[in-house]
């Protein structure tokens, strides 16, 4: 079946621009996660949705970062007034499980954001 | 101390060799553990889940040592195609809320040469 998809795959933004990154999870997956991966590092947790509810946004680095999943499927991560330190790969993952059940997370191909 | 720690490597091994990676974690309440493989400029792909004492899948064996708080990945008969970065991930679940997240190590780079 179809895996997690993300778009765009690559995004170049000038410092100060707003960007929106899209994630389409595996159909039927309840949980959706966003991670940020810097070069040479493992993915770092940003935020977590169960259906449409954003249950944990403790990893969002600043209030310039905002995520939503209004209908419990597709999610958008928005970054306002991008800064150079926002340059990274943004990974989306989905999981069949809801709360209190730890199931495997499956990752999309990521969006590589470069802020110039 | 970092929540999840791995030796970044690289581990350079010849084809056919056996190689093992360790990953230590700090939260003794963690219940779920995973190994992901990540190729250059690609997303992490789930390699193995480690739910209890360990499991085996072909040439790959993952083990969990709760007392010492580490998991390991053993690769037997290494192939050129095994060259990649191996990420350890620990699922942190907050028991009062059920909120969860994967915490990753920095990854261990493996290079298998002919």
Angle, CA of A14, A65 and A95, to the nearest 5°: 120
- What is the pairing mode between strands B70-75 and B84-93? unpaired
The three-class DSSP label of residue B19 is strand
How far apart, in whole angstroms, are the C-alpha atoms of residue A85 and residue B21?
31
Can you give chain A as a three-state secondary structure string? CCCCEEECCEEEECCCCCEEEEEECCCCCCEEEEEEECCCCCCEEEEEEECCEEEECCCCCCCCEEEECCCCCCEEEEECCCCHHHCEEEEEEEECCCCCCCCCCEECCCEEEEEC
- DSSP state for residue B10 in the 8-state scheme: P
Asked if A33's CB is within 8 angstroms of B102's CB, the reply is: yes
The string of pLDDT tens digits covering residues A56-90 is 999 999 999 999 999 999 999 999 999 999 999 99
For CA atoms A26, A86, A76, B92, give the dihedral sign.
Answer: positive
Tell me the per-residue pLDDT of A19-54, one tens digit each, with 9 for 90 and over. 999 999 999 999 999 999 999 999 999 999 999 999
Q: Which of A7, A30, A45, A104 to mutate to test the interface with B (most CBs of B within 10 A)?
A: A104
Q: For residue B45, what are its two tokens?
A: 């792909």
pLDDT digit string (tens) for B99-111? 778 899 999 999 9
How far apart are alpha carbons B78 and A63 in whole angstroms?
46
For B86, nearest residue in chain A (alpha carbons):
A42
pLDDT in tens, B14-42: 999 999 999 999 887 777 899 999 999 99
Distance from CA of B3 to the nearest CA of A (A): 12
Average pLDDT value for chain B: 91
pLDDT at residue A1 tops 70:
no
pLDDT band per the 50, 70, 90 thresholds, residue B59: very high
């Amino acid at each position: 079946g179809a895996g997690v998809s993300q778009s765009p795959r690559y995004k170049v933004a000038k410092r100060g621009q707003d960007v929106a990154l899209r994630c389409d999870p595996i159909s039927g997956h309840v949980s959706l996660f966003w991670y940020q991966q810097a070069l040479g590092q493992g993915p770092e947790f940003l935020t977590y949705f169960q259906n449409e509810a954003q249950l944990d946004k403790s990893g969002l680095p600043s209030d310039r970062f905002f995520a939503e999943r209004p209908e419990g499927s597709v999610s958008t991560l928005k970054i306002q007034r991008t800064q150079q330190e926002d340059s990274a790969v943004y990974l989306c993952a989905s999981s069949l499980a809801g709360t209190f059940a730890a199931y495997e997370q499956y990752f999309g191909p990521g969006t590589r954001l470069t802020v110039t | 101390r970092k929540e999840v720690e791995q030796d970044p490597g690289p581990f350079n091994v010849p084809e056919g060799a056996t190689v093992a990676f360790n990953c230590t974690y700090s939260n003794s309440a963690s219940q779920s553990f995973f190994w992901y493989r990540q190729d250059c400029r690609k997303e992490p792909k789930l390699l193995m889940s480690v739910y209890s004492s360990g499991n085996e899948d072909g040439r790959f064996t993952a083990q969990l040592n709760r007392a010492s708080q580490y998991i390991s990945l053993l690769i037997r008969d290494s192939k050129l195609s095994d060259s990649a970065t191996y990420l350890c991930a620990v699922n942190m679940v907050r028991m009062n809320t059920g909120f969860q997240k994967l915490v990753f190590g920095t990854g261990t780079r493996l290079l298998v040469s002919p």
